[in-house]
Amino acid sequence: MNWIIEKNENLEIVNQLSKELNIDTILSLMLVKRGIKSFNQAKDFFRPNIDKLHDPFLMKDMGLAVDRILSAIEDKESIMVFGDYDVDGTSSVALLSMYLKSQGCKITPYFPDRNLEGYGISIKAIDEAAQNNQNLIIALDCGIKAHEQVNYALDKKINFIICDHHNPDESIPNALAVLNPKRKDCIYPFKELCGCGVGFKLIQALELKINKKIDNIINYLDLVAIAIAADIVPLVGENRILAHIGIQIINSNPRTGINSLFKNRVKKEFNIGDLMFHIAPRINAAGRMEHASLALELLIETDTQKADELALKIESLNDLRREVEKETTNQALNYLKEDKKETNSTVVFNKSWNKGVIGIVASRLIEKHYKPTVVFCEVKEGELAASARSVKGIDLYKVLEECKETIVQFGGHKYAAGLTIKKENYLSFKNKFETSVSKIFESKSSEPEIIIESEIDLDVITPKFYRILKQFEPFGPGNRTPMFLTKELKIKNKEFKLGKEKEHIKLNLTQDNIQTYSAIGFWLSDKFTAIKDSSNFSAVYSLDENTWNGPTTMQLNIKDLK
């Protein structure tokens, strides 16, 4: 990796903040880099407060949405709550369904079948709502481009409320209300909510209208935290507040279904990484390998025995997902080996690949080749679906816009997107995608980077330093996990190789033979074989905790070494 050490900020402000907060200058420098330059700003950062959330009625169409839902509650209407089949969508449907039920509403949750209906609002769902005499559909984490579907629903006298966070077109669907902070005509101050975050703003507005306070809905923030972790939205502003409080709830009073997913875990406290790497893949596995309704059942279940049974079923689906994903990744890597052509992008296709894993496979290919990647499978005769992932410096959404004459439809973000094309257009899309990416790569490096917070000596890492560092959590985009660089390191004592193929390494490190620090290097055992006992080396690492046979200790989590 290309190691990049961030420039120091205004040292006068850094030193002043260090004195005011009584913390190490390394930590005050971290604050200043995150835009925090005063005692009061630091107080808000370290103590996220729900009272600092924005007024939900600042969001365009919020008043219209609230009035329509209150009318439905009063008239005892049945409402369809439609969601995407990923973690964000599933969490959103769970949140809104439970809240509306608590207000006496009759709810029909609906997730499209990934393989039969595909992404987004489906005609099948609208037909089902019409058959059930439902005149209101609330769509979560999707719908911002559903012009045809909304018009189809209007013809059947069905209103739509859309809660989305994806980039809109120049025009928005003709729905009763479209809640999306990314709308050009929306003045809502925070633009980076996930879909479940938008859903929470809706119930916040409803609760303010009904009870004039939001105390009753704080316990829904565990679902919002899971969605924030899974959707990798910036962990700043409102997202930081929502995630911070949500994680507190998971650690103090976990929902029955979430507790079942965390059973047998030795950790006492969970963080955003645990939500991202343990909870999210399992919730996703339901929609990838079977149906998202299974994950919804788990999230809303209150009976411990039933929740445990659902969690076991989801665990088995996640194991199956891993197997299919590994096999698909290996097949894709073999295709790339056989194709000797030098390219700046990766586009691969196999008609038999499982649509549920192609997004993960695209991410795995980037880990190997670090290029914008599109993985296609065949969803029906003559139509291909794909998941796309990108790398730093390549705006995937803009690249796909340049390829749109070869695409039936697409949507997503800067780094992740989904699309469908006609099978006959596969080669023309592949060529167009490569041309578009290559133009950008002419002026940008394609080398993976690791951003280093500071160079430090090991003796800086004291219990107080780590205690304050933990208060910077939750980490994510906009508040990334701090990476530190230490030079002149040596291996102390014997190292141990871990994993089925001995791909990980656990060892003790020292600097100047003063103190020994425990360290782990995932997927780095090969790199460490090049280092002899007498060699000095440099390492970039994050700090985390390791719980083993009872006690919890701090360890260096090594990301790269030279």
Confidence band of 446 (pLDDT split at 50, 70, 90) = low
Q: Count Cβ atoms below 10 Å from residue 153 Cβ, excluding itself.
A: 27
How many DSSP H helices and E strands does the chain contain? 20, 18
**Model confidence band, residue 435 (pLDDT cutoffs 50, 70, 90):** very high
User: What fold is seen in the domain 339-441?
Assistant: Diaminopimelate Epimerase; Chain A, domain 1 (3.10.310)
DSSP code per residue over 173-218: ---SEEE-TTSTT---S-----HHHHHHHHHHHHHHHHHSS-GGGG
Q: Report in angstroms the alpha-carbon separations of 68 from 77, 100, 154, 205, 251.
A: 11, 13, 15, 12, 36
Q: pLDDT confidence of 333, banded at 50, 70, 90?
A: very high
Asked if the bond preceding 474 is cis, omega within 30° of 0, the reply is yes
504-510/516-521 β-pairing: antiparallel
The residues facing 163 across adjacent strands are 140, 179
Q: In whole angstroms, give the CA distance from residue 376 to residue 352.
A: 10
User: Taking a C-beta distance cutoff of 8 angstroms, is the pair 260, 307 a contact?
Assistant: yes
Phi, psi dihedral angles at 96 (to 5 degrees): -70, -40
The pLDDT of 146-172, averaged and rounded, is 94
For the chain, which residues make up each domain, given as ranges? 56-242, 339-441, 450-561
Buried b (16+ CB within 10 A) or exposed e, 277-304: ebbbbbbbbbbbbbbbbbbbbbbbbeee
Query: What CATH class is the domain 450-561?
Result: mainly beta
Query: Does the structure show a pLDDT above 80 at 539?
Result: yes
pLDDT of residue 549: 65
Strand order in the sheet with 383-389: 346-349, 373-380, 383-389, 416-422, 409-412
Percent of the chain with pLDDT over 90: 72
Measure the CA–CA gap between 33 and 479, rounded to whole angstroms: 10
DSSP-derived secondary structure letter, 508: E
Whether residue 283 is predicted with pLDDT greater than 80 in this model: the reply is yes
Average pLDDT, stretch 312-338? 94
**Cβ atoms within 10 A of the Cβ of 7, count?**
6
Please count the other Cβ atoms lying within 10 Å of the Cβ belonging to residue 426: 17
pLDDT at 269: 82
pLDDT in tens, 253-263: 999 999 999 98
- Reported as a single tens digit per residue, the pLDDT across 199-255 is 999 999 999 999 888 888 999 999 999 999 998 899 999 999 999 999 999 999 999
Report whether pLDDT(533) > 60: no
Q: CB–CB of 195/413 below 8 Å?
A: no
Residue 562 has pLDDT above 60, yes or no: yes
pLDDT digits (tens, 9 = 90+) for 130-156: 999 999 999 999 999 999 999 999 999
pLDDT for the residue numbered 534: 58
Place of tokens 């990416």: 437
Phi, psi torsion values for 259, nearest 5 degrees? -60, -40
| Fold of the 56-242 domain | inorganic pyrophosphatase (n-terminal core) (3.90.1640)
Give the rounded distance of the alpha carbon of 320 from its chain centre.
22
Report CA-CA distances (Å) from 498 to 130, 319, 522, 525, 544.
56, 20, 9, 9, 18
| Structure tokens, 364 | 């795995």
CA angle 235–52–68, rounded 5-degree value: 95
Residue 445's pLDDT band (boundaries 50, 70, 90)? low
pLDDT band at 550; cut points 50, 70, 90: low
- Strand ranges inside 369-448, DSSP E: 373-380, 383-389, 409-412, 416-422
Burial class of 213 by CB neighbour count within 10 A (0 to 12, 13 to 18, 19+): exposed
Q: Are 390 and 369 in contact (CB under 8 A)?
A: no
Q: Report pTM.
A: 0.88
- Residue 510 to residue 488: CA distance in whole angstroms: 9
Kindly list the distances between the CA atom of residue 60 and the CA atoms of 150, 373, 414, in Å, as whole numbers in the listed order.
18, 35, 24
